[in-house]
């Protein structure tokens, strides 16, 4: 399968004069079209920095980033923002819905920015609402919805421009288990049914077990990765155990367990 995103020797430095901080060090990562990849690791390890760079929201300091085989350093800002608008749907940690707009208008916002016609936009909203089971919520305000419902509205908004990549930074953070499962199962369905590439940051092992592959970030480096062996019939529960193993190594390190 072809790579949709390819990071080669990526570094990210924060700060210039009073002490440079290396947030990412020599990251090499290929993400295949249609893949569901998880990025895990302790707090402060560089997960958000990495996902922001992979999705072109932030600039890297050194190295090369290729999207659809094209080196993004050779693309101007206008082309890059067009690319983002057409290809990537973002789901942020704090869902970022506007409280003064109804859910319908929140979902419509990216379509208005993209200057889609009113009829087509309304059709897209209804179609997405059906897919995400939020038809009854369209005329409510975000503040009238539960946490899980708001995340689903945020997913609908992220999908309204029909992206082929979904980038989600801790989309289930601060949700209870049931709501978190609703969100992750929605993302999994979009991945399987529509072939969307999903790049997900999470520190939740159960959420990680929905991925095809999980990479572990530690101190700004890609430390390790595990892949779900669908070919060998590996069940999600077995992959979950691998995720637990992978991420608990960190805890053991922190506790000084050998």
Q: Stretches 15-23, 146-154, 204-212, 222-230: which one binds ligand ADP (CB under 6 A)?
A: 15-23
Using the rule CB under 6 A, is 14 a contact of ligand ADP? Answer: yes
Binding segment toward ligand ADP, per CB under 6 A, in 45-53, 68-76, 130-138, 160-168: 45-53
Q: Which of 53, 55, 51 is nearest to 63 (CA)?
A: 53
What's the rounded Cα separation, in Å, for the pair 207 and 89? 19
Which SS3 state, helix, strand or coil, does residue 87 take? helix
In eight-state DSSP terms, residue 162 is: -
- Asked if residue 247 binds ligand ADP (CB under 6 A), the reply is no
In the complex with ligand ADP, the residue whose CB is nearer, 44 or 195, is: 44
Given its phi and psi angles, is residue 137 left (phi above 0), alpha (psi -120 to 50 degrees) or beta? alpha
- Annotate each residue in 214-243 with x if it binds ligand ADP (CB under 6 A) or - if it does not, as one string: ------------------------------
Q: Are the CB atoms for 110 and 87 separated by under 8 Å? A: no
Q: What is the rounded distance in angstroms from the CA atom of residue 224 to the CA atom of residue 38? A: 12
For residues 43-72, which are near Mg ion according to CB under 5 A?
48
Among 19, 21, 233, 237, binds ligand ADP (CB under 6 A): 21
Phi, psi of 155, deg, nearest 5: -65, -45
Binding of ligand ADP at residue 47 (CB under 6 A)?
A: yes
Instruction: Report the residue number, 21 or 178, with the smaller CB distance to ligand ADP.
Output: 21
70-71 vs 88-91, strand pairing mode: unpaired
Q: Count of residues binding Mg ion (CB under 5 A)?
A: 1
The binding site for Mg ion (CB under 5 A) comprises: 48
The binding site for ligand ADP (CB under 6 A) comprises: 14-15, 21, 23, 41, 43-49
């Amino acid at each position: 399968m072809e790579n949709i995103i390819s990071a080669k020797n990526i570094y990210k430095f924060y700060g210039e004069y009073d002490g440079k901080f290396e947030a990412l060090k020599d990251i090499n990562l290929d993400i295949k079209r249609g893949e569901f990849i998880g990025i895990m690791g302790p707090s402060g390890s560089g997960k958000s920095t990495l996902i922001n760079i992979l999705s072109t929201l932030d600039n890297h300091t050194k190295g090369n980033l290729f999207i659809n085989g094209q080196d993004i350093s050779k693309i101007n800002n206008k082309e890059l923002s067009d690319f983002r608008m057409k290809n990537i749907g973002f789901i942020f940690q704090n869902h970022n819905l506007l409280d003064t707009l109804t859910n319908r208008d929140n979902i419509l916002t990216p379509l208005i920015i993209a200057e889609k016609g009113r009829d087509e936009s309304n059709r897209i909203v209804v179609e997405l609402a059906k897919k995400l089971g939020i038809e009854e919520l369209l005329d409510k305000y975000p503040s009238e919805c539960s946490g899980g419902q708001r995340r689903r509205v945020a997913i609908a908004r992220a999908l309204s421009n029909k992206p082929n990549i979904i980038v989600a930074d801790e989309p289930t953070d601060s949700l209870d288990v049931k709501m978190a499962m609703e969100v992750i199962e929605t993302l999994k369905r979009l991945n399987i049914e529509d072939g969307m590439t999903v790049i997900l940051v999470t520190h939740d092992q159960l959420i990680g077990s929905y991925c095809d592959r999980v990479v572990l970030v530690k101190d700004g480096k890609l430390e390790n990765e595990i892949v779900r062996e669908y070919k060998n019939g590996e069940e999600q529960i077995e992959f979950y155990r691998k995720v637990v193993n992978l991420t608990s190594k960190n805890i053991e390190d922190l506790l000084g367990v050998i």
